Chains A and B, each alone.
Chain A
Amino acid sequence: MKLETRDFGQIDIDEDRVITMPAGMPGFPEAQHFIILDREETRPFLWYQCVDDPGLAFVIINPNLFQPDYSLDLGAILREMSWNGDREEDLAVYAIVNASEGIPEKITANLIGPLVINTRKKEAAQMVITGSPYSHKQPVFQPI
């Protein structure tokens, strides 16, 4: 299917890759269908493009690329989401990234509100981790 995207114009996507977020995301409850775009020029940052609204896209990253120790209790998430019958290996975890200052070195990732995608069900939720040692503004690039 053809999809209008905010940053990359019209692209062709495979409908099977569309991810549903029944609860939306805080601030964006109406946005419920997304697709991950992997663009060579911004890799390893990925684009979480909303399918319902071409003007809405987030930037996400695998948090282990800059925080190797970061991990979630995936078993608890499976239970909390009632994702019965799915396994921890079916879950993919991403952090939502922001570069609000426009300065690449100051990019931060939200490690207390990870995006958890059930790759088998094609369903996702933004979790909230309480009591985490990490921050909602965790620097992606550590000062050298």
Chain B
Amino acid sequence: MLVLTRKVDECITIGDNIVVKVLGIESTQVKLGIDAPGRVRVLRQEVYEKIRDENIRSARRQAAAFVQAAGLFKTKEKIKGSEE
């Protein structure tokens, strides 16, 4: 891992069009400003990991559960329909 030391208001650049700026430091927190093209995904790591993990779980083979779940939906619709 590349390790750099920066002061407040100093930046690092990544490639040609990503700039990360240190906006402020307060006790154990660092506030960063990030300029990147719209198509570059910039996320807090824990959010990225949540989304990635849900994608991985969704990609598992699980057709049988969804056939049953589709049945639950239809039952729900019928109950709703009979209440009206």
Residues of A that sit less than 8 Å from B by CB: 6-7, 22-23, 25-28, 41-45, 56-59, 65, 80-82, 96-100, 102-105, 107, 110, 112-113, 126, 128, 130, 136-137, 140-141
Contact = CB atoms under 8 A, between A and B. Distances in A.
A99 B47 contact: no
A41 B65 CA distance: 11
Nearest to B53: A27
Q: Interface extent on B, as a size class?
A: 20 to 34
Shortest beta-carbon contacts, A-B, top 7 = A104-B69, A27-B52, A99-B65, A113-B51, A26-B52, A98-B57, A104-B68
Contacts of A25: 55
Interface in B45-84: 47-48, 50-73, 76
A99 B58 CA distance: 7
B55 A7 contact: no
Secondary structure at the A interface, as helix, strand, loop or mixed, is loop
A79 B9 CA distance: 28
Contact of B59 (A22, A58, A126, A128): A58
B31 interface: no
Chain B contact residues: helix, strand, loop or mixed? helix
Given A105-B72, A141-B72, A23 B39 contact: yes
A31 B81 CA distance: 40
Interface in B13-51: 38-39, 41, 43, 47-48, 50-51
B48 A26 contact: yes
Contact of B38 (A58, A80, A107, A130): A80
B35 to A, nearest CB: 14
Contact of A42 (B51, B60, B66): B66
Contact of B69 (A23, A56, A99): A99
Contact of A102 (B38, B41, B65, B72): B65
